[in-house]
Each structure stands twice: as C-alpha cells, then as structure tokens.
Amino acid sequence: MPQHITALSGSCVLIPCKFKIPEDESLSKPANGVWIKHAAQFATEGTVVFNSSNTKNKLGGEILGDLIQKNCTSVLDNIPQSFTDKYFFRIETGRFRVTFPNSPVNINVKDSPQKPKMTGITEVLENTPVNLTCTAAAPCHTHPPVLTWTPQLGDHLDQLCENADETKSVSSVLTFSASHLHHGKTITCTAVYPLQEKTSSKSVEETRTLSVLFSPKNTTASVGPSDSVKKGDSVTLYCSSEASPPVKSFTWFRDPEKPSVVKVIGGALGAIGMLLLTILLLFLWRLCCSRYFNACM
C-alpha cells in the first residue's frame, strides 16, 4: 500500500491495499472492510468513513479486492478537500477483527489536479522523429484524465498505466517529424479531469518550447537604393536568412561566369581605341615622311 496518495476533490480515489495476518489466523466469509480516518482507534479518536457492511457511509465507496485473499484495494467516492488525513484499514471477518495501525495511507485531497509531466528531447535536428510523452496521475481509475496536445503535430497513443505502487496514471505519446516550421513553437499537453459531480471537470496543462536545428533557408539578397544608380554612387547590399542556430556571418562574392557589364564594355572600348590610335600614328608617320622627302628634292 502506498504511503501517500494525492486525490482530487469531487472525484474518487483508488487505494491499493494488501495486508498480512498471523499464520495461526484464518479468514472466512462474510468479510467486511472498514476505512478509519485520522486514527486507528475509531471508538475514541478515529472516524469510520466507510464500512462495506453498511448501506450508508460518510463516503461512498467499494472494496475492490478479495478480502479473503488479503487484498483490501478500495475506492472512496466524491472525496472532499476537508478529508485530507491519515486513513487506516480494518478487517472484520468471523472472530478475526483487527485494525492495522502501523500502515496508514496519507490522502492529500487537492482542489486542483496535479500538473502532468512532459518528457522527451525538445531540441532536435530537422527531419528527425520526435517522441514526447505526457503523463498525468489518475487517482480515480473510473474517471481518468483525458490528455490532448496543442498543436496537433502528429499521431498520439494514450493508455492507462499502473505505477510501481499500484496507483494509476494516463500516458500519451506524441510522435511527429521535426520541421523548421516547428522551431520556437510551444507544445501544450492538457489534462482534463472529469468529476463525479454532474458533468463538471477540472483541467491543468504543461508546456514545452520546441527547438529545431536546421540549415539556412529562405535566403534573400537585396540592394539599396533599389532605383538605378550612376557610376561612383554608393550602394548597400542586404542579405537575410532563416536558420537555427542563427547565421553568424554572410560571405559576398561575384559569379565569375557572369562578368560585370561595365567591365565588358570598358574592354571593348579600349580595343577600338588602340586600333584608332595605331591608324592615326601610321597616318602621321606617312605624312611626316612625305613632307621630308619633298623638302629634300
């Protein structure tokens, strides 16, 4: 039997329970189970809150275990917050009637449910599978919490589990493939606890922020000013990119297969100029020689 159980007010609480008796004693039917609040001496200090032989009790409930097999697992219904206390079990069968004072269970009844626990790696590489597990206590096995994921990134598998101390919990495993679009998103697991009273419920949630590592995407380059500029004017080049972790530096380069138009035009004009200069020099040389020979004659 667990030493501590946290229950939710307005809901039931499952109490896993087993007991031992002396070897020279035996159990026979009919057998009754009794739960005593606060103290084992119910005649003086303790208060009987449930007796399976009675039709009316301070708390409704049921003995789920087989008392003859020394299994006293029980459920107490619609437990109020004011019933936070120690509880002792008593067995009554034939001439064997005994309370177990050394093994009480402490039931802490809260007005709000416990937060679910979310486990799993939340920093992942892009395109790798992600498994996140959300686990919520289920103190009332007949009204377990319903778990939902926000946003719904993929499929999830839910199941009711038994813990090492035989209490119950609900587990939900969310599976999806990490995308750069998931980076920085807040993932929420919400546990909704239905109550035994009418159709009311209580909810609580847990959140995690997903970090997806991915290479640069959506890289863009622009120039300012965007209008035409004249030779000698200064321009500013802008570059932006999305990446995780963020881009630390950018490298600018000119495509060697696409030389600038200015350089091509300049080279063409230089070649034509050299040709014209050569023709002009030849023309002047001939002119000078012609005048020289004419003067000598």
Residues 232 and 170 in one domain: no
- Reading the block at residue 164, the tokens are 């090492």
Among residues 110, 132, 156, which one ends one of the domains?
Answer: 110
Does some domain include residue 12?
A: yes
- Judge contact between 240 and 219, C-beta under 8 A: yes
Alpha carbon separation from 120 to 34, 213, 293 (Å, rounded): 43, 16, 103
Q: How long, in residues, is the chain? A: 297
Does some domain include residue 268?
A: no
Does some domain include residue 136?
A: yes
pLDDT at 181 (0 to 100): 94
When divided into structural domains, the chain yields a total of 3
Residues 201 and 220 in one domain: no
Residues 122 and 209 in one domain: yes
Q: How confident is the model at residue 268 (pLDDT cuts 50, 70, 90)?
A: very low
The number of helix segments (H) and strand segments (E) in the chain equals: 1, 19
Residues 127 and 160 in one domain: yes
CATH number at residue 201: 2.60.40.10
Residues 22 and 80 in one domain: yes
Q: Compute the CA torsion angle 55, 56, 58, 63 (nearest 10 deg).
A: 10
Enclosing domain of residue 226 = 216-244
Residues 150 and 208 in one domain: yes
Q: In what order do the strands lie in the sheet with 146-150?
A: 146-150, 186-194, 201-209
Beta strand pairing call for 168-177 and 85-93:
unpaired
266 pLDDT more than 50: no
| pLDDT tens digits, 70-125 | 999 999 999 999 999 999 999 999 888 999 999 999 999 999 999 999 999 889 99
Does some domain include residue 237?
A: yes
Whole-number Å distance between alpha carbons of 64 and 89? 14
Residues 12 and 79 in one domain: yes
Residues 100 and 122 in one domain: no
Among residues 89, 110, 131, which one ends one of the domains?
Answer: 110
Does some domain include residue 273?
A: no
pLDDT at 25 (0 to 100): 86
Residues 158 and 142 in one domain: yes
Q: Compute the CA torsion angle 30, 31, 32, 33 (nearest 10 deg).
A: -160
Residues 188 and 202 in one domain: yes
Does some domain include residue 253?
A: no
Whole-number Å distance between alpha carbons of 124 and 180? 10
Residues 87 and 157 in one domain: no
271 pLDDT more than 60: no
pTM of the entire structure? 0.76
Does some domain include residue 224?
A: yes
Residues 96 and 39 in one domain: yes
pLDDT at 42 (0 to 100): 80
Does some domain include residue 260?
A: no
276 pLDDT more than 60: no
